[in-house]
Amino acid sequence: MLEGWLKVGMKPEGVTVLDPHPSEEMTRFCQEKSIALNPENPAAPDVLVLAIKPQMLDDAAPSLNACLGLQTLIISILAGKTIGDLRSRLSAAGAIVRAMPNLPASIGRGATGAAANDQVSEEQRLMADALLSSNGIVEWLPSEALIDAVTAVSGSGPAYVFHLVECLAEAGAAAGLPRELAERLARSTVTGAGELLFQSDLPPATLRQNVTSPGGTTAAALDVLMRDPNGMKALMREAVAAAKRRAEELAG
């Protein structure tokens, strides 16, 4: 996300990174971009982006509380941790936006679901929208209760697509293609289809139908993928339900 913000013009001198155990990559990144990393007495920020593992919240809470100001807006991307969870750990917290971006945010093509508590002002909401939308689309949710479903669909979704490429390449190799060629074809097919979907106003079902000739090769494959009750639809529904269930388990 930070890479995306810098690409659209965020000034590095206005950014501070707090990371008790920064990786070599993070340290080098901050040095190259002239970003403050772990200063001794950081000033209370206008916006605090909380981007740690959910399991680390309890350990991080004391140091986070110490740097919060009365006007600080917290944008949390912690999977499973509700606004209530944050308020119970961060006594100094007021305005909170809970958001779930995904990995393509780093290249400006992310998808983020967001929900705000009633202490978020209109100005702060616009600020959060500007930050989040600089990395892709933002969908403001009518209820925080929908965040776990967003996590399961778009938050975890890139991994599903990457696995699709793995599976398609493996199937190509099993069909006789050299493995490296199968991987290149699978990667280009999925990225190309994604770009077509991005640029088109047509529903995904219509795009699928447009490429499927009756009785042709695509139709033969789709007969397998769309087979009831064990086709891709049922498998994806099961996968999303499992991810949503895990997000709910992370709460508290």
Q: Are 96 and 84 in contact (CB under 8 A)?
A: no
The pLDDT tens digits of the residues spanning 38-89 come to 998 888 999 999 999 888 999 999 989 988 998 999 999 998 899 999 999 9
Q: Which long-range contacts (CB under 8 A, 24 or more apart) does 24-31 make?
A: none
The pLDDT tens digits of the residues spanning 4-28 come to 788 878 899 999 999 988 999 999 9
What is the per-residue pLDDT for 234?
95
Report the CATH architecture of 157-249: Orthogonal Bundle (1.10)
Domain segments of the chain: what residues? 2-146, 157-249
CATH fold of 2-146 reads Rossmann fold (3.40.50)
Average pLDDT in the 94-107 region? 93
Whole-number percent of the chain with pLDDT over 70: 100
Strands 95-100 and 110-116: antiparallel
Name residues whose C-beta falls within 8 Å of residue 251's C-beta, 6 or more positions apart in sequence.
80, 81, 82, 85
Taking the model in full, what pTM does it have?
0.86
Q: Is the peptide bond prior to 104 cis by the omega test (within 30 degrees of 0)?
A: no
